Structure 1
Amino acid sequence: MRLKGKTAIVTGASRGIGRAMAYKMAMEGARVLVNYNKSRDEAIDLVHEIRNKGGYAIAFGADVRDRKMVREMVKVARVNLGKIDIVVNNAGVACYALFTDMTDDQWREVIDTHVTGTYNVLKEVLPYMVSEKAGCIINISSIWGISGAAMEVAYSAAKGAIIAMTKALAKELGPSGIRVNAIAPGIIKTDMLNDFSDDELKEICLNIPAKRLGNPDDVANLAVYLASDQARYITGQILTVDGGYL
């Protein structure tokens, strides 16, 4: 129970990596707000699963691009969970397209969800963390934010911005007792890979030293560690979970 007595907000937590992180944090004792945008049923199912296992969670629908919705989400978290100890900025979208074919709307959706969404959440949460002189922020980036990926220029740019934000905020917030780290997952088996055929996925695995795709639990295990007191001297780090891909 490494997170017993702590509270957490996990954005984009209804599916994939976000779901795994919210579930594992709850199983480690944290009281969790499961944020979702469109996948309400999946979020409610996760809350029921957590409660059936003896944990505590609530669901809240909010598009992180909307500052007013984020503000209301944070208020609900404080009323229902108490002091906010952990924030995981995971909400995101992907866009597979040649840069020359990408529309302005596609660009804005990716950048606004990842970058502005993270900004909105932190602007609403940090005043409370600073006043408490404590807190843990985990931003979910990607290996493409480090190396870049063809056909994913907007996604790579957004995830690269998350890395820069993480490093800068860690320096700025360290004196206030707040740790800021980022996880850069590699190729993880989630809905974002649904457009790839089995043959394409097998070919991808040939280039991964671990010879397999990652799974959401691989990322969630690291998130729990970073959120725990075991990682109390770790901040400003970008940790890859990629099976050696980079």
Structure 2
Amino acid sequence: MTTDATFNPRRFQNRVALVTGGSRGIGRACCLRLAQEGARVAVSYRSGKADAAETLRQIEALGGSGMIVQSDVSVEAEVDRMVSEVEAQLGDIELLVNNSGTFIYQSHEELDLAAWQQMLDVNLTGTFLVTWRVKPGMLKRQFGRIVNLSSLSGLQPRPKSIAYAVSKAGVISFTQSIATAWARDNIRVNAIAPGLIETEILSTVNQEDLEKIIEATPIPRMGTPEEVAAIVTFLLAEESNFTTGQTMVLSGGRCMLP
């Protein structure tokens, strides 16, 4: 994994971080970056145990420490068990990256209630459940840093991924509301809205559509998980201590907010 000028091996020393969906892609990149900068990292996964174990192996190869923990973030009982296991093994969770997500690329003719419900259950309700489970401890300690993974789809119309876009727009609204509610309790909450990132989530998108999007991007390429992880760690760190309730866009210029 490459690093940049903001890399600080002591930035998260003695902090405990939970990364949902940490077994691969953006989640894995976040786990590795946090571990490199001193955090003890809990790698949450739903079904990819081997991938999660590989993430932990890479963390340990970097000299870091952590654990893997299984959970379906859309199920309250599983979220409760996950957080309890992390607290018992690593300590109080101070840094949270809500990265678990699912994506379906389909037209409105194909979209049905089951797909709609799946998008909302994992992407939006899952973000809520994990956040609500760590909330009491963060409020008690008067410290917490949360980054929620939204998407460029939450900011722009997406006729071929309607349910996904709605769920990610909900993540942005959720971020803004809880950031306002908890700002005086020293809990900062921000979101990231990536555009095209080189991950397996794009496997359902046809190559022709991907090429059209890249061609329309001012920086004409896809982003990398490591580029997302760099912004995640910035938002978790004290360098961004006056930043809360924001959604940072990483899209190569495809979306430019005022």
TM-score (norm 1): 0.97
1:192 is matched with: 201
- Identity of paired residues, percent? 34
The match for 1:201 among 178, 192, 210 is 210
1:227 is matched with: 236
Partner Cα distance (1:80, 1:116) in 2: 26
Compared CA separation, residues 201 and 98, structure 1 to 2 (3 A): closer
2:107 is matched with: 98
Partner Cα distance (1:53, 1:189) in 2: 23
Secondary structure of the equivalent of 1:118? helix
Whether contact under 8 Å (2:26, 2:199) holds in the other structure is: yes
Whether contact under 8 Å (2:105, 2:205) holds in the other structure is: no
Deviation at 1:100, TM superposition (A): 3.2
Confirm or deny that 1:245 pairs with 2:226: no
Whether contact under 8 Å (2:104, 2:204) holds in the other structure is: no
Deviation at 1:198, TM superposition (A): 4.7
1:175 maps to a residue whose letter is R
- Report matched runs for 1:15-26 at 5 Å: 15-26=24-35
1:153 maps to a residue whose letter is I
Confirm or deny that 1:138 pairs with 2:172: no
Confirm or deny that 1:56 pairs with 2:65: yes
Partner Cα distance (1:177, 1:135) in 2: 7
The match for 2:174 among 165, 168, 178 is 165
Deviation at 1:204, TM superposition (A): 2.1
1:28 maps to a residue whose letter is E
1:42 is matched with: 51
Partner Cα distance (2:204, 2:132) in 1: 35
2:129 maps to a residue whose letter is N
Partner Cα distance (2:38, 2:56) in 1: 14
Q: Deviations over 1:64-102 (max 9, x none)?
A: 011111111111111111121111111000011122321
2:122 maps to a residue whose letter is T
Confirm or deny that 1:215 pairs with 2:198: no
Partner Cα distance (2:95, 2:177) in 1: 18
2:5 is matched with: none
Deviation at 1:52, TM superposition (A): 1.8
2:227 maps to a residue whose letter is D
Compared CA separation, residues 199 and 151, structure 1 to 2 (3 A): closer
2:85 maps to a residue whose letter is V
Secondary structure of the equivalent of 2:196? coil
The match for 1:179 among 171, 178, 188 is 188
Deviation at 1:119, TM superposition (A): 1.1
1:231 maps to a residue whose letter is S
Compared CA separation, residues 175 and 144, structure 1 to 2 (3 A): same
Secondary structure of the equivalent of 1:82? coil
> C-alpha root-mean-square deviation of aligned residues, in Å?
1.1
Secondary structure of the equivalent of 2:155? helix
Partner Cα distance (1:201, 1:182) in 2: 24
- Report matched runs for 1:142-161 at 5 Å: 142-161=151-170
Deviation at 1:200, TM superposition (A): 4.2
Partner Cα distance (2:167, 2:183) in 1: 24
Unmatched runs of 5 consecutive residues or more in structure 2: 1-8
1:107 is matched with: 116
Secondary structure of the equivalent of 1:114? helix
2:20 is matched with: 11
Unmatched runs of 5 consecutive residues or more in structure 1: none
Partner Cα distance (2:254, 2:36) in 1: 30
